[in-house]
Structure 1
């Protein structure tokens, strides 16, 4: 054990208190009195070996491995505070298989489990703490961290272990500073020079979190390190210090007045501790009068209270004489704490572990006389013990002889009088799942006062320190690697069009789901609007009204022709063809309604087929009427053999055959690749287009192409027959109607291909209505004009008169 630092004296008191409790408790080891012996190693390997051999020797004689005179049986050894001290002790104690309890943080060596099977660790291995630090850094999103490590073998092992863990977790070191393991006033000048060189790196504002690794001696050096800032009149650092369970406000007597404000708001993983009932009362009874039984109290008392117990030597006359009534509770907490610290609690628990193991061995009749027990015989009982301390904490070891215990996350709140408060703000449970291993209550944390003056993030009304190589990339941006810098140093790039990022510091922007699209800020996905040409849409309403109006108009024309079916103007040019054409035009206007509304399976199958076949019937009727005019004119010539072709049979054949070809194309279309309802999520930004997929585009254009072919043939025949002596010149009207029809559908193709979504449907409906209206208007409006407004012209004499005039 080491008692150079004043706070370590509490470890002695914890051991003495535990032995006192066990000896006074009749339930544990009745009629057996435990004793203890404490030796100091002075942080020296040589003294550690000597002290260990002394424990194994005959009382008052340094004769290891010999039994002579009065012999005190060493059952177990508790020590040491430092990892190297524990290794040095274990090298000798393992020869005797003597149980050894390390009460400080222990850095496991390679093969340590096999090398030292008699070693029991009261603190879980450092690896758990390192993982806890990673989780803590990620909890607060600190990715740019300064590292302090002692300039010795332990510091080397720490960096070899920690740097890969940080890198794999996306956390990087802003700098690495190696601190001396020990220092003295003679080294102060060299330390001051080094500090002036490193100061610009330490005060750099991006790295606001420092992770410190080192055992108590190097922590004392860190105090010297920070004291030098004040001595050199440099501004204080004001950072967040993160430390492992090694660390404590360990202060030597010469450092009692040194400021500890630099550590205000520090976070540490501390060994879980509780105050056993009666411990503080026991501590208050400590007096210098213990000197006969306690070889450490005089040095402790004189250094702690800066007084002398014995007669002053030359040069010490200025010091006061200790009264012996000084109060330990009056000491600064940096020198001595009344509450039991984590390391002291481990000493207390280790002593109880030995006592319970001995008690179990005694009760199991393993030994007839407990006084004859050998240290190696205690191991089976130590490995299987399980009990609760008087403070209520469970004690048992795992298969690696490690105490199954977690760590407290402690926030250190300091005050100007060098006192401090340990605030428990979380818990690290190494045996829990990765999600629940670390729990933090952010609201309880007090940060360094400097952060209240910085622009940072606010959580629960508090300022959260930021430790990043650069500012976070906000949603809508992604990280962009900067050549020559570490990965956590990056630029922010705006997300490309059509992509988004909804978290801070995303590595890459992502696409939204197909049914969503990025908002304007590109930081969220919003549902796409479902769109189709509906009756509620203004365009849908207009087209539906137009289709209904033309339908009613066609029905009216059909009614007029039916009413005047026996008049010469209706009979002329084949009355049956006129009715077929009017009915097909009526159906053309009605089929427009198949294109309005949400596409369904039935409507998708019907609308193009109905449109193609009905229009083909209409065009076939127009073609038949035109051919009828030509045949009628040729039949009037004397000796013409065309008379036999004049009649309904030819016109009906033309209508049927031309319509059949279109029907065959449509049947082939339906049997190979029929239209079906589909959704288009890509064509229009922010819209899901519900449409009819034509199935086969080639078949769709075949239907249009065939109608175009019929229209061109009809136009050509009508154009050639426009000057024939036809009654009421119907061939000329057909020519105009075909000219309108061809113009509409020639403009339809490029317009249809250049539009998207519901506007494609609008273009097709408009083309259907416009071309049908062109046929209706050009062919039937002159005849309706005569039937209704000029009935005197609708007679046979007038018909013959016009024919004769033309001839």
Structure 2
């Protein structure tokens, strides 16, 4: 401060001809002392500040620089603000001081903690930390700073495991409790909004036991404090600091101290004796040697002589120059030739206050101005405690935060960061590990939103992002993969020819058709024999032809359904089976009529001869053709994708179109089968050895049993099994007819030819 005032008083551009006076108080970081100093400043001085005749005899205070702490600054601002005296602080960062209704005359050259809180939240979010602990000084600086930080952290999804406060004057038990909370916590990251005077108390307590591995995120209050950098377990600490700067000439000013100047100041005397470990006075009880006058400040290596890391000092420098510029703008007038200042015009504090609001200038390359809240433009350096080759901590700048940049571009960080224990890997601090795709987050009861369990997505749903809060269902024709992080087309299922089941059914179908053809060939070859002629060879050949079609129509049920195959499979099945049953019915009626014709005076056979038999078969079959035609015209079967039977696959099947048409076709077949079965039962005890009634009765019993069991099996079978059940019913009933009716006759023809004679035919049982 003295250096800056000397520069201003020696300047020919700023306040030419006017000398600034000053008085410095030590508030001792105490609110009562700061308030006492404020009242002293307001009371003014009875004697002249300077004995030179050029100075005013009673200098009124027009502005105050300070205090360094937020709480003392609040108290002082409330007092001197009543007199419109501006208070320009260089280190009071509490966001509460930006409230112009409560602190209208407060200004500061250091950014508000609101900016630092936003920057710290962005820093924590940048490295993916969602589970942190917070410790703070129980002061306005700590409490308001943490409140701003927690508000910013909540917006970006950061959770706080604990938030503890303390003061260096607290009981040791409380300090120990705070340290134990840090030790027991699961959060690896500790954000510390602590005054540099409070922190050593906590760090000393943590050092009593093996300190826990914690990554310290430090506020500007102590990130650059060289004393605190001696705690080795804080290695890798990172935080925002006030921008580093160089003040030309300051180092030479600091080193230019004569023994006379030192001896005349109690502060400088204490500093000198401590720096050189000697006494300027006589030997005292501390047994220090007497200073011999050869002590050289240039040989010292400490924070006093190191002006390469000036941060807070530059804020003081800016504050003094801001006040000087405000006074200059109040009492000086720029002319074309030079600057004229009215030395006799005494500026009042209210005028300085108004001019201070509009101050804008550059000093040593840095802009100085205040916004409507009395705050400067926020700029922070991101600094990291890195261990040098000599084993001591050094401050290394690894990024910055510039609030003047567009939103989203304020924060920049490079990768040259040393973390706790010297690691180059970014530490991980989360309450719960991130949920991978295919799962969703379920919050743990009674815990913050960062603590959750990862639950697999339910059936039919996916999540394709990390930490998804919900799962979304796949579209109707898609299904999740095994990981449930993507939807893929559902497999389409139908009874394909390359399936084992389809191959077996097709083989039986072709075998049945071949069996019918072979039987027809045997009958044709032995068409003149009694056993063939006695059983109505014309109906037998027609029955074998219809059975061949029945066997082959089952092939239309295999393969991918199409428009033509869906219509063909049901209509072909319905018509061929009616033709088959009609032939069996005709053979049954012929047996009954033949027996009636043997009675004396009976001429029944002339009413049911071959023409009538053919006409009966045509009529019965034509009725089924009419039913199928109406079905196809009104609502034919069509291929469809069945999405309801199975969730994970699509069943490609033939929809019935009209269920009435389908059941009408089946019902008509069933009606003929029952009628034929009844007639066969009536004729089962006729005395002819070649009587087919017994064989027809047994075949129709099998036929009816197959189709009665088909109905519940068809309704309950899912997917392609429905088609397989229908094919099985067709094949089973067809094999039942051909084996029951024709197998005994073929056996006689081939293996018992002696029974294939007229004599055996006429033999009565």
Report the TM range for the smaller structure's normalisation: 0.7 to 0.9
**CA drift at 1:39:** 3.0
Tell me how far apart the structure 1 counterparts of residues 521 and 115 of structure 2 sit (CA, whole Å): 95
Q: What secondary structure is seen at the aligned counterpart in 2 of 1:220?
A: coil
Q: What secondary structure is seen at the aligned counterpart in 1 of 2:198?
A: helix
Q: Which residue of 2 aligns with 1:446?
A: 418
Q: How does 1:91-240 map to 2 (within 5 A)?
A: 91=78, 94-95=81-82, 101-104=88-91, 106-109=93-96, 112-137=99-124, 142=129, 144-157=131-144, 173-180=160-167, 182-183=168-169, 190-191=171-172, 193-196=173-176, 199-204=179-184, 206-214=186-194, 216=195, 219-230=196-207, 233-240=208-215
Q: Which residue of 2 aligns with 1:331?
A: 302
- The correspondence for 2:239, drawn from 268, 279, 284, is 268
Aligned partners of 1:58 and 1:68 also within 8 Å? no
Q: What secondary structure is seen at the aligned counterpart in 2 of 1:226?
A: helix
Q: What secondary structure is seen at the aligned counterpart in 2 of 1:148?
A: strand
Tell me how far apart the structure 2 counterparts of residues 642 and 628 of structure 1 sit (CA, whole Å): 8
Tell me how far apart the structure 2 counterparts of residues 601 and 23 of structure 1 sit (CA, whole Å): 101
- Bigger mean CA deviation after superposition, 612-621 or 429-438: 429-438
Q: Which residue of 2 aligns with 1:721?
A: 683
Write out per-residue CA displacement over residues 585-621 of structure 1, whole angstroms, 9 at most, x where no aligned residue. 4554444444433444554555445544544444444
Q: Which residue of 2 aligns with 1:246?
A: 221
Q: Which residue of 1 aligns with 2:384?
A: 411
Aligned partners of 1:261 and 1:416 also within 8 Å? no
Q: Does 1:530 align with 2:494?
A: no
Tell me how far apart the structure 1 counterparts of residues 37 and 21 of structure 2 sit (CA, whole Å): 14
Give the direction of change, closer, same or farther, for the CA distance of 1:518–1:793 in structure 2 (3 Å limit): same
Write out per-residue CA displacement over residues 150-178 of structure 1, whole angstroms, 9 at most, x where no aligned residue. 23455555666666776787765544433
Q: Which residue of 2 aligns with 1:84?
A: 71
**CA drift at 1:44:** 3.3
Q: Which residue of 1 aligns with 2:30?
A: 44
**CA drift at 1:241:** 2.0
Tell me how far apart the structure 1 counterparts of residues 284 and 746 of structure 2 sit (CA, whole Å): 141
Q: Does 1:678 align with 2:641?
A: yes
Q: Which residue of 2 aligns with 1:654?
A: 620
Write out per-residue CA displacement over residues 360-415 of structure 1, whole angstroms, 9 at most, x where no aligned residue. 99999899956678776788887778887756x77766665543435444332356
Q: What secondary structure is seen at the aligned counterpart in 1 of 2:96?
A: coil
Write out per-residue CA displacement over residues 317-351 of structure 1, whole angstroms, 9 at most, x where no aligned residue. 5056375533487226xx78543455445455666
Give the direction of change, closer, same or farther, for the CA distance of 1:628–1:156 in structure 2 (3 Å limit): farther
Tell me how far apart the structure 1 counterparts of residues 702 and 464 of structure 2 sit (CA, whole Å): 54
Tell me how far apart the structure 2 counterparts of residues 508 and 802 of structure 1 sit (CA, whole Å): 85
Write out per-residue CA displacement over residues 645-682 of structure 1, whole angstroms, 9 at most, x where no aligned residue. 55122232222224544655666654xxx554214377
**CA drift at 1:127:** 4.0
Give the direction of change, closer, same or farther, for the CA distance of 1:728–1:206 in structure 2 (3 Å limit): same
Aligned partners of 1:106 and 1:126 also within 8 Å? yes
**CA drift at 1:260:** 1.4
Tell me how far apart the structure 1 counterparts of residues 363 and 520 of structure 2 sit (CA, whole Å): 106
Tell me how far apart the structure 1 counterparts of residues 57 and 294 of structure 2 sit (CA, whole Å): 38
Give the direction of change, closer, same or farther, for the CA distance of 1:675–1:658 in structure 2 (3 Å limit): closer
- Bigger mean CA deviation after superposition, 118-127 or 479-488: 479-488
**CA drift at 1:438:** 5.6
Q: Which residue of 2 aligns with 1:69?
A: 56
Aligned partners of 1:512 and 1:518 also within 8 Å? no
Q: Which residue of 2 aligns with 1:639?
A: 602
Write out per-residue CA displacement over residues 123-144 of structure 1, whole angstroms, 9 at most, x where no aligned residue. 5543454455455555556555
Structure 1, unaligned runs of 5 or more: 1-11, 453-460
Q: What secondary structure is seen at the aligned counterpart in 2 of 1:275?
A: coil
Give the direction of change, closer, same or farther, for the CA distance of 1:526–1:622 in structure 2 (3 Å limit): same
**CA drift at 1:263:** 1.7
Q: Which residue of 1 aligns with 2:703?
A: 741
Tell me how far apart the structure 2 counterparts of residues 734 and 376 of structure 1 sit (CA, whole Å): 125
Give the direction of change, closer, same or farther, for the CA distance of 1:153–1:116 in structure 2 (3 Å limit): closer
Q: What secondary structure is seen at the aligned counterpart in 2 of 1:330?
A: coil
Tell me how far apart the structure 2 counterparts of residues 173 and 753 of structure 1 sit (CA, whole Å): 60
Tell me how far apart the structure 1 counterparts of residues 718 and 321 of structure 2 sit (CA, whole Å): 82
Aligned partners of 1:208 and 1:465 also within 8 Å? yes
**CA drift at 1:555:** 6.2
Aligned partners of 2:128 and 2:428 also within 8 Å? no
Aligned partners of 1:146 and 1:209 also within 8 Å? yes
Give the direction of change, closer, same or farther, for the CA distance of 1:653–1:536 in structure 2 (3 Å limit): closer
Give the direction of change, closer, same or farther, for the CA distance of 1:409–1:355 in structure 2 (3 Å limit): same
Aligned partners of 2:133 and 2:161 also within 8 Å? yes
TM-score for the superposition, normalised by structure 1: 0.72
Tell me how far apart the structure 2 counterparts of residues 587 and 632 of structure 1 sit (CA, whole Å): 29
Q: What secondary structure is seen at the aligned counterpart in 1 of 2:239?
A: strand
Q: What secondary structure is seen at the aligned counterpart in 2 of 1:177?
A: strand
Give the direction of change, closer, same or farther, for the CA distance of 1:70–1:721 in structure 2 (3 Å limit): farther
Q: Which residue of 1 aligns with 2:272?
A: 302
Give the direction of change, closer, same or farther, for the CA distance of 1:573–1:19 in structure 2 (3 Å limit): farther
- Bigger mean CA deviation after superposition, 337-346 or 425-434: 425-434
Tell me how far apart the structure 1 counterparts of residues 7 and 538 of structure 2 sit (CA, whole Å): 120
Q: What secondary structure is seen at the aligned counterpart in 2 of 1:403?
A: coil
Tell me how far apart the structure 2 counterparts of residues 578 and 642 of structure 1 sit (CA, whole Å): 18
Give the direction of change, closer, same or farther, for the CA distance of 1:395–1:793 in structure 2 (3 Å limit): farther
**CA drift at 1:639:** 3.5
Tell me how far apart the structure 1 counterparts of residues 649 and 130 of structure 2 sit (CA, whole Å): 40
Tell me how far apart the structure 2 counterparts of residues 431 and 560 of structure 1 sit (CA, whole Å): 104
Tell me how far apart the structure 1 counterparts of residues 457 and 231 of structure 2 sit (CA, whole Å): 47
Aligned partners of 1:624 and 1:654 also within 8 Å? no
**CA drift at 1:74:** 7.8
- Bigger mean CA deviation after superposition, 71-80 or 199-208: 71-80
- Over alpha carbons, which structure has the higher Rg? 2
Q: What secondary structure is seen at the aligned counterpart in 2 of 1:289?
A: coil
**CA drift at 1:763:** 3.5
Tell me how far apart the structure 1 counterparts of residues 75 and 429 of structure 2 sit (CA, whole Å): 42
Aligned partners of 1:99 and 1:119 also within 8 Å? yes
Q: How does 1:372-451 map to 2 (within 5 A)?
A: 400-414=373-387, 419-428=392-401, 443-449=415-421
**CA drift at 1:287:** 0.7
Give the direction of change, closer, same or farther, for the CA distance of 1:513–1:405 in structure 2 (3 Å limit): farther
- Bigger mean CA deviation after superposition, 368-377 or 619-628: 368-377
Tell me how far apart the structure 2 counterparts of residues 557 and 223 of structure 1 sit (CA, whole Å): 109
Tell me how far apart the structure 1 counterparts of residues 166 and 411 of structure 2 sit (CA, whole Å): 29
**CA drift at 1:268:** 1.9
Q: What secondary structure is seen at the aligned counterpart in 1 of 2:378?
A: coil
**CA drift at 1:753:** 5.5
Q: How does 1:581-620 map to 2 (within 5 A)?
A: 581=543, 584-600=546-562, 603-604=565-566, 607-620=569-582
Q: RMSD of aligned C-alpha atoms? A: 5.6
Tell me how far apart the structure 2 counterparts of residues 351 and 682 of structure 1 sit (CA, whole Å): 83
